[in-house]
Structure 1
């Protein structure tokens, strides 16, 4: 009897060790110089770990039954606040259309023009609490309430081409922008991701890439700062043909974590290349762009700190696939969005997925469960 108990205990212990070994095979953690490195392997994801979604509603940019002011012509600029309000840049009138969480039109903010409430050259915008701030003509920041009330205009010290801005808290702004300078009688570009104060004064540079103006189409794609912020953590990545990596920084700009996943370089198929050539017959960077596939296209952070990595953009009539990492940086699930359209933008807010389809001029809203 005692012998059987020993055998049983050993068996349980072995099963526990084996299960631990199986789990440890999917990723490993290394700590070095106060930075945590999480290295994920390409572990297989079964059907139970593919995230399912359920469409809640659609918001169409055009409805003949409503007033024309309630319609919009979508661009690649749209935001969602914590209350579920949608802010959509209408490129036709250079204005921001505001819709509530039910998809009903509320009001418009700014429009094309030279007045204090208008914009001459709309660059981008960002929202923070109950305010909307518009970057106008590279040099001005115009602040409004979400109801459209104009507050004031702030002038920057130099002209900057902003790609994206996130206000993290009352005193910290994260901004990705380009600046231009001359070197050896040639124009060069500096692509920056910086932590700024409320007056847009630099506190810390997180990323800075420099390249010539001539190489702009190629380098703009691969040097673009792909980033998001959640719970005082900055997540940063770049498109690459050789690595799959996400760097995590605190709001002081200190590197605290690096999340990576094994990535095997792969070439485009002849069929894919033929499709690209039809779509881009005069692309001078064709061979340079499309020799190997990229590791990731975009990234998003949801309300629980889970990282959704957009692996492709929907080109070549393929579904859009996501890798999902938990808040610790461990690869756990996948999400496949059944779309054959590359003119799509995702936003993860309020435990929902907002999907802007510029080709069809509408926004679909989905619930999801892990």
Structure 2
């Protein structure tokens, strides 16, 4: 096949890019390694920044989100057995976030792509990107039992941390920055209505806890656990008891319990590769950067990457100028590092490091009290959480 933009990866980043290019009159082909059922059921993030919500609406993918998503106007920080609400609209000039699961974003974009867009090939395994530095890249892939090629003007790797796109950039031409954290998250899905109207981020001497939700009847909760934890070692009773202890406040608030339908452990890491471009190959989303989930930035960074890239490709088609394409990596990395810093701040302020001293714990509490007591500090958190404008 021949196309203008070859997109490796049919997750939210690849699908949204294909949608944006379609609306700009630029043809593309999406190659997705997994089948449709797997892609539409892959559990990931569920918090959409204001800019992500705006991008989905603008490309015609926001109708079901607006009907079924849960708009949130703040979060609660909980520490010292008290809750402190951060009011997003009041602090950011009206910005908010939307709780709408990545599975649903993907379903909406898949349906639009199949109905209106270019080819979306499921179970198409990308093998290699060749000629990225020649201006005429080719993607080799297997589909329906045979190896095929996709010739492109541009290849975009939206294939995640374990994908093949990044490996097409010579090691000498890229640099990696990484931080690992000495704890993980035990995440659960439970068939019980959320015990809160907005997310609760809890700091406790026992460790961090997060109360989130997927729908009005499904709760999503997380516990800080040691690295290497086996979910099977945590019974339902143990999970609920530990959540109760970490969310405890001196009020009559109650954590509702229900059947746990899924358990998993997520390691915490920060990771960035630079640059995000090599010749005609561009990286977007987890192929280029990973953030710990504390700041809810992973999916939103992927969206901002492809919005910037789509605008740059449209600009080149309209004007013949590659100025915006040439600036793609630098433009995205400014936002990436801001999100990395915010995610690092949220992670280290709220989690209990197993090696930290009592002094470190007091510093954490001092920072949390500063946010609770200072409009300036709360505004900084709210602006970063709801997302900086996509420029």
**TM-score normalised by the shorter chain: which range applies?**
under 0.3
The structure whose RCO (Cα within 8 Å, separation 6+) is larger is 2
Q: TM-score normalised to the size of structure 2?
A: 0.22
Q: Which of the two has greater strand per residue?
A: 1
